Chains A and B, each alone.
Chain A
């Protein structure tokens, strides 16, 4: 089998092979996709390649952690944290920056965020000290804080649950209300195939039909 590292290309150290190899290292890109992308760049006008190269370097040089929410941003505090129209009483705690985008897409949350950059996962060697939990506590202990609710939006799996309960335990002495995203059936799901935990929660937190 070809692993995409080069034998099918003229000279493993050729510029094309280097580009294919670079694409292949990206998540979700297999050897064939890497070749396709490399040859696309090869055929594209130089300006397009230059734009891609500039964008890549710029993102590495200018993106920093927001001092407040720890999200990735080009300026700190980030756009959301410095937006005066956001509700400063609620912070939604998420695992990754992409989760912020997912929740923003719903349009249903107008509060602030805090990005943990991971989740407690002993199997992967990640403990609470490896996450941005200390930064969250510092935010909440700030004398000027108006936060009265923390919405823990970690994923509904073993690690996410452990992280949520651990956070709830840490935050309890601060007298802040800690809530968790509801858990139930996804849109388009099939009851017959739902797992017991999901179905049990869906029943437990059922709602009156409007």
Chain B
């Protein structure tokens, strides 16, 4: 019964998103280590004199104090622990972070235990902010998230007949959750051929630690193929379009279009920073991405 619930709790949390409530309040969705995903009310945060507003922005690790409310808990204090400023200064990293937040949101239900997920998301956001390869961060996060939520994709054996599938003859069946052998794929309308190297790297990512995975060199084209396969898989699992995945691709397309020698040098500082690519894998999938996700 409610009598057992402590009146005030203090917890770290990652802000996933928020929606407006009334004139100046917001309902903020948090991912916490102990209580999973929860919706809480933040009162008065839209007023410019709010003491909490800036601390409850999406893509922020905060420490919040929550007072037990009748329907939803109410935030009484919020203090930023990490706002990942480097991520905010680079459109590619920012769009990737928005994708991670959307995945974390779509793969969780309110109040279900998500201790592993909070740590997983936090680690991925830290890696993005410090400039690790965006592709490695995103792909390893996707695979770990699928593992943690019981959707681990089958990358080695056929999802239909369970026969081992050689990478050179593999087909990709996102709706079925993994690879298919050529003979099973024939009777499956949605199966697509998958690039052998892309599949090998995905298999490696699934088996290796993050640090080991980070040592694998990816060409732009290879990264694009992996992204295409994984976006299709994530879409199939959550059974809806992931708008942030499309934005990752749109942001990259805009960069490719903008990388002409005539670029003007008068931009503000944040904009110039956005153009200076810092991630380890370099510029990933410039050409390939254009055809993705749409």
Interfacial residues, chain A to chain B (CB-CB below 8 A): 28, 120, 122-123, 125-128, 157-158, 161-162, 164-166, 168-170, 172-180, 186-190, 193-198, 200
Q: With CB as the reference atom, state the residue of chain A lying closest to B101.
A: A123
Contacts of A166 in B (CB 8 A): 91, 250-251, 254
Q: Is the CB of A122 within 8 A of B243?
A: yes
In the A-B complex, list the 7 residue pairs whose CB atoms are closest, starting with the nearest: A195-B54, A122-B244, A193-B51, A122-B243, A168-B271, A165-B91, A177-B266
A-B contact count (CB 8 A): 127
Cβ-based interface call for B151 (8 A)? no
B residues 263-294 in Cβ contact with A at 8 Å: 263-264, 266-268, 270-271, 274-275
Which residue of A28, A122, A175 contacts B98 across the interface (Cβ within 8 Å)?
A122
Q: Is the CB of B54 within 8 A of A162?
A: no
Contacts of A188 in B (CB 8 A): 48-49
Docked complex Cα distance between A190 and B49 (Å): 8
Contacts of A193 in B (CB 8 A): 51-52
Q: With CB as the reference atom, state the residue of chain A lying closest to B250.
A: A128
Interfacial residues, chain B to chain A (CB-CB below 8 A): 16-17, 22-23, 48-49, 51-55, 57-59, 80, 83, 85, 88, 90-91, 94-95, 98-99, 101-102, 105, 241-244, 246-247, 250-251, 254-255, 257-258, 260, 262-264, 266-268, 270-271, 274-275
Q: Is the CB of B85 within 8 A of A197?
A: yes
Q: Is the CB of A169 within 8 A of B91?
A: yes
10 A-B pairs with CB atoms under 8 Å apart are A120-B247, A122-B98, A127-B246, A157-B57, A157-B58, A162-B91, A162-B95, A162-B98, A195-B54, A197-B80
Q: Is the CB of A186 within 8 A of B271?
A: no
Q: Is the CB of A186 within 8 A of B23?
A: no
